[in-house]
Chains A and B, each alone.
Chain A
Amino acid sequence: MIRFEPREPASLPRLILIPVAAAVIALALAAIPMMSAGLSVFEAYGLMLTGAFGSPFAFTEMLTRAAPLILTGLAAALAFRAKLWNIGAEGQLYAGALAAVAVGSGWIDAPAVVLLPLVVFCGAMAGGLVMLGPTLLKTRLGVDEVVTTLLLNFIIILFVQMMLEGPMKDPMGMGWPQSEPMLDNAMLPKLMARMRIHGGLIIAFASAIGIYILLKKTVWGFEIRAVGENANAARHAGIPVTATFIRVGLLSGALAGLAGVGEVAGLKGYLTADISPGFGYSGIVVAMLAGLSPIGVVIAALFIASIFVGADSMSRATGVSNYLADLIVAMALICVLISGLFLRFKIRFTNNKTVEGAAK
């Protein structure tokens, strides 16, 4: 018989130790699929480690992969703080990428100081507007936002495909469904010569700090946390619950939209319909590993990014499917969910008889 006793707010070492333990357990569990695929486990871990950290190039690739994960992680963390279940970061990312390409690929030409902020702003707005729909449906009509955001992902990706095969198709694209390239002065600057690492990472870091300040130091942040704790109590306390949901929805969608901006205006330079390998869904794992803390999101995103980049490299060397990365990431989510119990509760193993005896 297991009993859960609520505990005092957890200490900082505990807050850090427990998700780290979850991540380590998930990595250890990955040995099972590795062995079943016939890999030598230590060799595989070694390949993953060098794949993510073994060279300056590997390290910058890992950081490049982390940029969108930080932003989708923040999108999930912020929304989940208010118990607004935005599972639509994937679609919002595509909406942001589509808007960035629409504005930045020749529709208007302007110096980079004007055009680049405009591209970033439009991408964020597009993501935010996509999330506004499900948020309004929730606050006005009580429609569950989980299902609407999930379904919107499919609708938006189909919409992007439609645009890329139709009005936004690159006439010079050899028939491939891809957009026209971004103008040079609409591109985020590269951070290092000969590497792919780009300004999207700066946007991601800045967003993490911004969301940290928002949650910790502002009235809006207080309201977001209060709504997340107990929306009814917050309403009775005079907190504008509906307005808070709408703010959170817009901001959460905008963060995911920025992830899309980074991918087209920082990394690829044009848009295809497969620009995201599930960054939106991985962002949920990032947010949960981070305990919904904005600074934690940065660390968790670096961890998840190193698993993806490491597994890609391991896969190229051994021929074992890189779906292993998705498997590790999913296991990390389940492990961190379980380990979260050790933060919220003291777990007591009690003798059944004594409990029943006490009841009598």
Chain B
Amino acid sequence: MSDILDILLTANFWAAALRIATPLIFGVLGALICERAGVLNLGIEGIFTAGAMAGWMAVWLGAGLWGGVLVAAIAGGFFGLIHAILTVPLGLSQHVSGIGVTLFATALSYFTYRTALPDVSSPPRIEAFPPLNIPGLSDLPFIGPALFQQTALTFLALALVAVTAFVLYRTPLGLAIRAVGDNPSAVESQGLSVYGLRIGTVVFGSAMMALGGAFLTMSAFDAFFFGMVNGRGWICIALTVFASWRPGKALIGALLFGAFDAFQVRLQTEIGSFIPGQIFLMMPYVLSIAALVLVARKADYPRALLVPYFRGQR
């Protein structure tokens, strides 16, 4: 028992938890605002991959780290636009369109990577984001060292939580986005464009998802690997339901998830090889399903989620 406490009480542990949580924060925020506007975005897994690949490749080609972040966001926005066009004005099945975007974005990323680098055996590396030292914050006891090990992208993710919450609950735009996911015809009767709001939100949300991918290749690692997203996108979709579509709860959910994952990795080294490693690797997926089951009964889905809207329809 004291061993477990020892794990939980180190700054290193919380640093790892926050590091694991960062791509999930981007992903859940992106998924959350898409769904708040009434569009389920199952393109997320592919958009993560595209963001990871495009961001990394831009840096590798000399665009600079923030240039890479921008390229990743644009790539995410591009695939988000495809999903938005298919599901909003064309009103196609959001499930199938999302899977289509995931297959397309993943295949395009892999094909581009292989075409640009036909015969490398070990993936080329870039100079990734360094840990960011913010005077004052880093001096805080306990939290300081945990934050001190993070890169700029983690701080960007935390800032986006606040920005998303502010925009969603404190601005007319946020009100319109929430309304368009609950009652689109009411939004149209106010003279606002349902299509414009939904498309814009999905594009922006997808750009945020892509930053989660970019974090993987530009901060957590410094190279692109096939299969590196490994279901993180789907985990974000589960966490979105768990977070009841609220940015603050999304942050808590992602942190809980990161803490659990960091904990099981440490537990694995403590316990040793009595339990096969795969059991530990399964944990994130099992935990995501458990999180869904836990909130299923009281999940309050945006009322117009999955429902296409056609102009002039009552």
Contact = CB atoms under 8 A, between A and B. Distances in A.
Given A150-B231, A151-B238, A165-B276, A330 B292 contact: no
Interface string A320-332: 1101101101110
B99 A147 contact: no
Given A4-B310, A137-B293, A148-B292, A333 B278 contact: no
Q: Is the interface of A mostly helix, strand, loop or mixed?
A: helix
B118 A148 contact: no
Given A151-B234, A158-B281, A329-B107, A338 B90 contact: yes
B107 A326 contact: yes
B289 A148 contact: yes
Interface residues of B, number: 47
A141 B297 contact: yes
B288 interface: yes
Contacts of A234: none
A333 B289 contact: no
B285 A147 contact: no
Given A155-B286, A326-B107, A319 B118 contact: yes
Interface in A57-77: none
A37, A146, A151, A161 — most chain B CB neighbours (10 Å): A151
B217 interface: no
Interface string B272-304: 000010110110011011001100110100000
B86 A331 contact: no
Contacts of B110: 321, 323, 326
Given A158-B281, A159-B282, A337-B97, A147 B238 contact: yes
B42 interface: yes
B100 A329 contact: no
A289 to B, nearest CB: 12
Contact of A337 (B92, B107, B114, B230): B92
B109 to A, nearest CB: 9
Contacts of B299: 142
A176 to B, nearest CB: 16
Size range of the chain A interface in the assembly? 35 or more
Contact of A323 (B99, B100, B101, B107): B107
Q: Is the interface of B mostly helix, strand, loop or mixed?
A: helix
A256 to B, nearest CB: 15
Given A143-B292, A150-B231, A155 B282 contact: yes
A285 B107 CA distance: 14
Interface string B184-209: 00000000000000000000000000
A213 B117 CA distance: 49
A326 B107 CA distance: 6
A102 interface: no
B125 interface: no
B99 A284 contact: yes
A85, A148, A158, A333 — most chain B CB neighbours (10 Å): A158
A327 B111 contact: yes
Contacts of A329: 103, 107
14 contacts: A142-B296, A142-B299, A147-B288, A148-B292, A150-B231, A152-B285, A154-B282, A162-B279, A324-B111, A326-B106, A326-B110, A327-B107, A334-B82, A359-B312
Top 9 nearest A-B pairs by Cβ distance? A321-B114, A326-B107, A330-B103, A162-B278, A330-B104, A323-B111, A327-B107, A333-B100, A141-B296
Interface of B: 42, 82, 86, 89-93, 95-97, 99-101, 103-104, 106-108, 110-111, 114-115, 118, 230-231, 234-235, 237-238, 241, 276, 278-279, 281-282, 285-286, 288-289, 292-293, 296-297, 299, 310, 312
